[in-house]
């Protein structure tokens, strides 16, 4: 039986990164070579914008880059209302050289302002990056190209409140049976075990299972083609994860409406709200956020690996003593699944007058050792050629439980279809969405809806 490793991501990745960083620097492509012509250039300053008030991982890279190139400074600027404000700044040709961004696709509003990077292969080397992540950020077609580079990869999983579990004599679950057992004890003790905002709960918890069914099918190409062609009967492939989520909802182990009404938790899908709720920090009678206790009300919370940054910061700010671990969600009989998808990335303003320096900074950021260090501090999987090996080492799972976004990308938006199906199930015990007699719709009802959505060709 495969077991989901119980880990604290930062410390596990630290071991991997330390090993990489302590190795002698060789003449391989992972080495970073300072360019003498840039060292001799005039002093300059680059402006990098982002959507977080602090960006410690990036600040570390900026500092070490400046050590190598004392004549180049990089300023990080936090921009509020980021998407709207950045579009205005880019269109006005404001002082921006580099900017943090989600994937820039063919219909992205920022596309006209981003430098196409693949045409600068003479100045930018991506030899150390993971091809799957780069491919996922590349626009295909005659007018396509690469307009941003993902910092690394995200992995979806579950945060476990080990303090709460320990108080009830429970262990971190390794598989679905153990998860159900934990949830039963927690519910009997007055807790709703698994919590999260319904807008992303189902897909956050179960999508890696769906992806793995496709990516590691006994006949991948045959399975892929059936789904891509929207053939009749393909919903049956996904009955197990649908059934497992249905059981969690049917038994009341996930009950968002009660949580929303009684605890006022997870009323939005922001990471900060998730951190406050998970750590049992709520507004007092004066409207100030206050720590309620050091045990918490949430045992299991689906989320991405990088959420740990917000959790750690919130824990420190409110002096919480709650301990937690990040695991792969144990949604299957033999454990959890790692699904690698791109994190946010970075782009160059094509109107920047400092393109040479911006490209050199990307060379540095995406050299193997530097990106490993960045990923450790950012709590993501590095954008390095050995990304899948790092997942394997971090979570102690084999390739049969690892998939990546590129393996489940179809000619239609498969993700949106699955997200709606899982969201509908996760809302199934809300009286608003139940049958007239006050009972949940059957699993077959949800499976029929999924079949229709998967096989309807627009």
pLDDT of residue 31: 65
pLDDT of residue 94: 80
pLDDT of residue 30: 45
Q: Are 174 and 330 in contact (CB under 8 A)?
A: yes
Q: Which domains does the chain have, with CATH numbers?
A: 32-150+344-379 (3.40.190.10), 155-339+407-455 (3.40.190.10)
- To 5 degrees, how large is the angle CA 191–CA 192–CA 195? 130
pTM surpassing 0.75?
yes
pLDDT of residue 288: 84
Q: If the chain, 458 residues long, is cut into consecutive pieces of 10 residues, what is the mean pLDDT of each piece?
A: 40 38 34 90 97 94 97 97 94 92 94 96 95 94 91 98 98 98 98 97 98 97 98 98 98 97 94 96 81 97 96 96 98 97 97 97 97 96 96 93 95 97 98 96 98 94
3-class SS string, the chain = CCCCCCECHHHHHHHHHHHHHCCCCCCCCCCCCCCHHHHCCCCEEEEEEECCCCCHHHHHHHHHHHHHCCCEEEEEEECCCHHHHHHHHHHCCCCCCEEEECCCCCCCCCHHHECCCHHHCCCCCCCCCCHHHHHHCEECCCCCEECCEECEEEEEEEEEEHHHHHHCCCCCCCCHHHHHHHHHHHHHCCCCCECCCCCCHHHHHHHHHHHHHHHCCCCHHHHHHHHHCCCCCHHHHHHHHHHHHHHHHHCCCCCHHHHHHHHCCCCCCCHHHHHHHHCCEEECCCCCEEECCCCCCCCEEEEECCHHHHHHHHHHHCCCCCCEEEECCCCECCECCEEEEECCEEEEECCCCCHHHHHHHHHHHCCHHHHHHHHHHHCCEECCCCHHHHHHHHHCCCHHHEEEHHHHCCCCCHHHHHHHHHHHHHCCCCHHHCCCCCCCCCHHHHHHHHHHHHHCCC
């Amino acid at each position: 039986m495969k077991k989901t490793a119980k880990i604290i991501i930062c410390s596990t990745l630290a071991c991997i990164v330390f090993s990489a960083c302590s190795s002698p620097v060789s003449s391989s492509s992972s080495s970073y070579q300072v360019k003498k012509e840039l060292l001799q250039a005039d002093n300059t300053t680059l402006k990098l914008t982002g959507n977080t008030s602090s960006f410690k991982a990036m600040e570390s890279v900026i500092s070490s880059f400046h050590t190598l190139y004392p004549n180049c400074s990089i300023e990080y600027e936090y921009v509020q209302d980021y998407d709207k404000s950045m579009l205005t700044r880019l269109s006005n040709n404001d002082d921006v050289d580099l900017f943090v961004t989600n994937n820039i696709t063919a219909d992205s509003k920022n596309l006209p302002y981003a430098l196409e990077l693949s045409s600068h292969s003479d100045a930018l080397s991506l030899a150390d990056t993971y091809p799957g992540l780069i491919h996922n950020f590349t626009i295909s077609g005659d007018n396509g190209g690469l307009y941003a580079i993902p910092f690394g990869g995200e992995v979806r999983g579950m945060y476990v409140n080990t303090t709460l579990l320990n108080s009830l004599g429970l262990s971190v679950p390794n598989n679905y049976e153990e998860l159900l057992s934990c949830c039963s004890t927690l519910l009997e003790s007055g807790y709703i075990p698994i919590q999260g905002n319904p807008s992303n709960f189902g897909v956050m918890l179960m999508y890696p299972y769906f992806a793995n069914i496709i990516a590691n099918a006994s006949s991948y190409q045959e399975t892929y083609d059936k789904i891509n062609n929207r053939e009749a009967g393909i919903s049956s492939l996904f009955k197990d994860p649908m059934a497992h989520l249905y059981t969690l909802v049917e038994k009341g182990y996930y009950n968002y409406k009660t949580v929303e009404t009684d605890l006022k938790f997870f009323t939005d899908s922001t990471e900060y709200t998730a951190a406050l709720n998970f750590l049992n920090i709520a507004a007092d009678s004066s409207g100030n956020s206050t720590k309620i206790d050091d045990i918490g009300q949430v045992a299991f919370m689906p989320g991405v690996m990088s959420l740990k940054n917000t959790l750690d910061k919130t824990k420190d700010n409110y002096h919480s003593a709650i301990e937690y671990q990040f695991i792969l969600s144990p949604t299957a009989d033999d454990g959890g699944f790692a699904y690698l998808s791109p994190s946010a990335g970075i782009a160059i303003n094509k109107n920047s007058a400092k393109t040479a320096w911006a490209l050199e900074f990307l060379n540095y950021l995406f050299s193997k050792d530097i990106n490993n260090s960045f990923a450790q501090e950012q709590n993501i999987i590095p954008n390095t050629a050995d990304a899948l090996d790092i997942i394997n080492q971090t979570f102690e799972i084999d390739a049969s439980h690892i998939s990546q976004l590129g393996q489940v990308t179809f000619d239609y938006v498969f993700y949106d279809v699955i997200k709606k199906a899982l969201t509908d199930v996760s809302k199934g015990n809300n009286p608003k969405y139940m049958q007239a007699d006050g009972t949940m719709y059957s699993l077959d009802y949800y499976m029929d809806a999924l079949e229709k959505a998967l096989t309807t060709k627009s």
